[in-house]
Amino acid sequence: MKEVTWPNAQETRRDTSTVVGTSILMAIFLGCIDWFFQWALQLFA
């Protein structure tokens, strides 16, 4: 561990885009699941 290799600007942008994109997709997915369970519970309650 003598030398640290830092990512260049292009790699940093790519990794940041991946994290942001994945976070948005997960938020949409979990929001849909939440909506479905809320709808199902109101239907059967």
Residue 38 has pLDDT above 80, yes or no: yes
C-alpha distances in angstroms, 32 versus 3, 4, 18, 36, 44?
A: 45, 41, 21, 6, 18
**Rounded Cα gap, residues 17 and 2, in angstroms:** 29
More confident residue, 14 or 44: 14
Q: What is the reported pTM?
A: 0.78
Amino acid 2: pLDDT = 81
Alpha helices in the chain (DSSP H): 9-44
